[in-house]
Amino acid sequence: MITERFYRSIFELNGHPILAKSLRKFAKSKASKPLIRSFAGLYKLNMEEAHRDIHEYQSLHDLFTRHLKENARPLAEPADAFISPCDGVLSVVEELTKDSTFVVKGQNYTISELLGTEKASEKYAGGTVLIFYLSPVDYHRVHVPLDAEVEHVYTLGKKAAPVNTLGLQYGLRPLTRNYRLITNFNASGTSFSHVMVGALNVNSIERTNPNSHVKRGDPYGYFSFGSTVVICVPKGALTFIGKTGPVKMGEEIGKWQA
């Protein structure tokens, strides 16, 4: 019997780089296809909303990066709505300190660590940090939260520690050490940072949208096997509506004030 522990060994436990490469190769190969139904059943994936029938997926990677049917994630209608860029569990730090520090699971992080530059952190003093944690059950494609111009895109980090309770509480510091894709967007003259944080043995992030101008709800990229999205917003730019916990892509989480 294939158990959750088996899948955790593939998707959630940090290991040796050679093992990570082997797991990534296996998950992308047709050799993993026989595991698709058990994976979908174990994590109770909602295949009714998937773009394809389950038998059409050729690997675990193919399943994990699945597209959804049209209108499976309707976008919030208000023109000033700032939407969730992904499915996941949302936590919020509403007022950053003067040195742009925020606390996650008892660990202090700074925006300068997250973004890799002291200068970038200055504009976020007193601002808001939105953290979206994705689990195996979630839809793993990431979208654009607001109409915006893409100012700058870069990557940082190499590690692949788990972004879960273990990784967040016990010194692994995945949010600022793991591989991450950072995009600086500009919406109505105000910049905000959108960070896709890789994790797990496979640690893969793909940007799928090369456009310099993007619309709210546009596809932007995907995680091959899970992780976290962090959005940093300057003080006064976003009025958070107050809902935390499980969210779906397209759901309104705030009003853009800029």
Angstrom distance (rounded) from CA 163 to CA 114: 14
> Catalytic residue at 143?
yes
Angstrom distance (rounded) from CA 180 to CA 174: 10
Tokens matching residue 103: 């606390």
Tokens matching residue 180: 């991450």
Angstrom distance (rounded) from CA 16 to CA 36: 25
Helices (H), the chain: 4-11, 17-28, 36-42, 60-64, 111-115, 118-122, 165-169, 174-177
Catalytic residue among 100, 112, 121, 143: 143
Catalytic residue among 87, 112, 204, 224: 87
> Catalytic residue at 84?
no
> Catalytic residue at 227?
yes
Let me know: does 109 contact 103? Beta carbons within 8 Å.
yes
Catalytic positions: 87, 143, 227
